[in-house]
Structure 1
Amino acid sequence: MEKKARYNVAVVGATGAVGQKIVETLEKRDFPVGELRLLASARSVGQELKFKGQTYKVEEARPEAFEGMDFALFSAGGSVSERLAPEAVERGAVVIDNTSAFRMVPEVPLIVPEVNPHMISQHRGIIANPNCSTIQMVVALKPLYDAYGIDRIIVSTYQAVSGAGQKGIDDLMSQTKAIVGGEQPTPSYLPVGSLPKKHQQAFNVIPQIDTFTDNGFTKEEMKMVNETRKIFGDQEIQVTPTAVRVPVVFGHSESVYIETKRPFDLEEVRGLLEQATGVTVVDNLDEQEYPMPATTADTLDVYVGRIRRDLFHPRGLNLWVVSDNVLKGAAWNAVQIAEYMVKTR
């Protein structure tokens, strides 16, 4: 990609929760947008969105819409990406895809800019965003991986309903209103929209995100296993995840336990995290200060607290990691990749 003063950008899935946040992030970051095209399915055509004081009408996402685009940021579902991302590349755009469609394709870089930006240059037109729960975990672990190596990760996630899209948010809200009003809730979407059985999410936690695989882990959990290994370029890391949906709208939380290859000093660990790009340490136990979704939503960083040595394993370390899943877990990570490409050209 040649160096330009302005870059033409298409946002696919512009009317969705992540798509709208991408548009908002492009504006807040003052990304050098020349022409902006907001694309979505035929049913969304004609909707209006604002960008830098101007009103843009949503157009249909079709191959011809990518003519003249430099970047195409996709967040409209895997089937849309599979169909249209190659069309965008053929017309000269660099695709940054938020879906799982290309994440495990060997020749497609899976990028978290704080972790593996050197892989961006190896793209062949498509760059994949990892899963939101993977992104925040690897950002927190990167400085520790570099300093001590990591043998094993055991992670339990507490994931917001926005990770299931607007329908997940609506399901929680309607259930909550029903219960508060003294009525019986009627679950309509969670745990998995495509499956017939639904569970109460309000005032409840559901230990299932996505469908189960033959090994007893869900697809969401296996994403964390496979994506973490690909991002670090290390197939020896042992990753054991449990993904849980909680009644929070924005912000995933994770309890992360790691076993390092080499001994660590706890204060050095804290210092490495405090110095890490994209990480904010909030860990003042005397004042009961630690990361929470309510205090970190709508911010760009990954927050780390409850930093403590394991009671039994000499190289065991426990962390509490929180981040806005729609921002760092999707929209901001995508825009961040585009920013990196612009700055390094």
Structure 2
Amino acid sequence: MGFKVAVVGATGNVGREMLDILAERAFPADEVVAIASRRSQGTEVSFGDRTLKVKALDTYDFSDVDICLMSAGGETSKEWSPRIAAQGAVVIDNSSAWRYDPDVPLVVPEVNAEAVRDFKKKGIIANPNCSTAQLVVALKPLHDHAKILRVVVSTYQSVSGAGKEGMDELDRQTKAIYSLQDLQQNKFPKRIAFNLIPQIDTFMEDGFTKEEWKMMVETKKMLDPKIKLTATCVRVPVFIGHSESVNVEFENPITADEARDILRAAPGVVVIDKREPGGYVTPHEAAGEDATYVSRIREDITVENGLAFWCVSDNLRKGAALNAIQIAESLVNRSLIQAKKRAA
């Protein structure tokens, strides 16, 4: 008997991507239910070659749901994830609501898949921030080999990380520039078209933004609490795909050639690193793909054991929807959940 899977937030960018990936990967589900707020009730969304009608969250009975993929925002998750988990479903949450709870595992399957076993404490598993997810996929195999001491990362994050509103704003502003119309600025603090913004999320007292803080804390929780990490997160006028420039200092020696071989053998990583024009991956090529792409691997001569590299991934897939479904697959493959018996 297959599982019953609910996707909450099914009308959003990530929710639609979750439905697509469940179908693509032939997840062992007998039934998939699309759920969103009441104002979206009755809206049709695609699931493989089928169409699902969206049901309302506040009236849905989750008692026969096995897995709930939650992508409806932090406030909704704080209210509903515990209620859904109390009805016996495992909630895999894509928001920041539960990532820092010590009783909720924060999981990227290529990095710490065994942590899914701790879901029973609250019935919830957290998905990391999109920029953190691709970073730790690349860092994990290098850390295992040479032990990371410090990471300096600058991100170049697409507008889809700010949801449909972010994508719409870039689209509108770009059209307005070409048609010589006035630009409207709603989602971002400054114009995003033909520009970039060195702020993602709100500022904290120490001058870092919340997005930068997330990368620091989440990397420590999943990879190693002793790793020191500093980040600068930048929004760029790209629709899909986050890019990162990464400098890493190791405890033990590691060459660029060794790193290249290690990453080529690592799960979830594709190395494309030719030292010639175009011999690297950009977010355009990464869009729609599952892998974390690593390019421009080279030794950083400013520290004793240092590397620098370029890292790109589709933030809607590995940064969100795909990672959530890989977590669900980890639960199934480890026989940690069984499908509930349902009335015929």
2:131 paired residue number: 133
Q: Secondary structure at the match of 1:291?
A: coil
**1:304-315 equivalences in 2 (<5 Å):** 304-315=294-305
Q: TM-score, normalised by structure 2?
A: 0.95
Between stretches 264-273 and 242-251, larger displacement belongs to: 264-273
Contact 2:151 2:246 in 1 (8 A): yes
Give the length in aligned residue pairs. 333
The reply to whether residue 12 of structure 1 matches residue 2 of structure 2 is: no
| d(CA) in 1 for partners of 2:109, 2:226 | 22
**1:110-129 equivalences in 2 (<5 Å):** 110-124=106-120, 125-129=123-127
Q: Select 2:316's aligned residue among 320, 326, 339.
A: 326
- The two structures, once aligned, show a CA RMSD in angstroms of 1.0
**1:1-345 equivalences in 2 (<5 Å):** 5-62=1-58, 64-124=60-120, 125-190=123-188, 198-232=189-223, 234-345=224-335
| d(CA) in 2 for partners of 1:118, 1:226 | 19
Letter in structure 1 aligned against 2:310: W
| d(CA) in 2 for partners of 1:188, 1:205 | 15
1:184 CA drift (Å): 3.1
Letter in structure 2 aligned against 1:81: S
Contact 2:93 2:125 in 1 (8 A): yes
Unaligned runs of 5+ in 2: 336-344
Q: Secondary structure at the match of 2:267?
A: coil
Distance 1:21 1:6, change over 3 A: same
Deviations 1:188-225 (A, max 9, x none): 211xxxxxxx3100000000000000000000000000
| d(CA) in 2 for partners of 1:53, 1:144 | 40
| d(CA) in 2 for partners of 1:65, 1:166 | 28
1:50 CA drift (Å): 2.4
Q: Secondary structure at the match of 2:183?
A: coil
| d(CA) in 2 for partners of 1:264, 1:282 | 19
Contact 1:81 1:99 in 2 (8 A): yes
Deviations 1:223-275 (A, max 9, x none): 0000000001x222111000000000000000000100111122111100000
| d(CA) in 2 for partners of 1:63, 1:18 | 22
| d(CA) in 1 for partners of 2:125, 2:24 | 22
Q: TM-score, normalised by structure 1?
A: 0.95
1:152 CA drift (Å): 0.3
1:64 CA drift (Å): 4.2
| d(CA) in 2 for partners of 1:41, 1:97 | 16
1:195 paired residue number: none
Letter in structure 1 aligned against 2:12: G
Letter in structure 2 aligned against 1:217: F
1:311 CA drift (Å): 2.4
1:90 CA drift (Å): 0.9
Contact 2:20 2:48 in 1 (8 A): no
1:182 CA drift (Å): 2.2
Identity value in percent:
50
1:334 CA drift (Å): 0.3
1:66 CA drift (Å): 1.2
| d(CA) in 2 for partners of 1:54, 1:246 | 35
| d(CA) in 2 for partners of 1:266, 1:39 | 47
